[in-house]
């Protein structure tokens, strides 16, 4: 899991700042790859064959979609749900706010 998230960040051309993972007893992993542009995180529930991944980034790079596609492939997901959320948008803004959306994979 750690290697896959680190590689996903690299493929997205993100700047890796730190990597922290924790293995739960008897199973399950939570981890985060902190990137200068924000983060990639994962929480797993192996007993349900489920993992939730958040790829949060700002700016043109990193390419969240590249990271998401890589992780879906690496985890051999039978089903994948990718939801793109726009964060940081302000209602009634006088000028348009350009925002590159993060991608959440679960």
User: Tokens 């700016």 label which residue?
Assistant: 59
What amino acid positions are annotated as catalytic residues?
38, 43, 58
How does DSSP classify residue 76? Answer: T
Residues 6+ apart with CB under 8 A from 95: none
């Amino acid at each position: 899991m750690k290697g896959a998230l680190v590689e996903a960040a690299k493929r997205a051309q993100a700047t890796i700042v730190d990597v922290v993972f924790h293995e739960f007893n008897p199973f399950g992993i939570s981890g985060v790859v902190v990137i200068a542009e924000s983060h990639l995180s994962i929480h797993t529930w192996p007993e349900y064959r489920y993992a939730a991944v958040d790829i949060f980034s700002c700016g043109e790079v990193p390419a969240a979609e590249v990271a998401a596609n890589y992780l879906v492939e690496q985890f051999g997901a039978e089903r994948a749900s990718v939801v793109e959320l726009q964060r940081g948008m302000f209602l009634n803004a006088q000028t348009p706010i350009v925002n590159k959306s993060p991608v959440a994979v679960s």
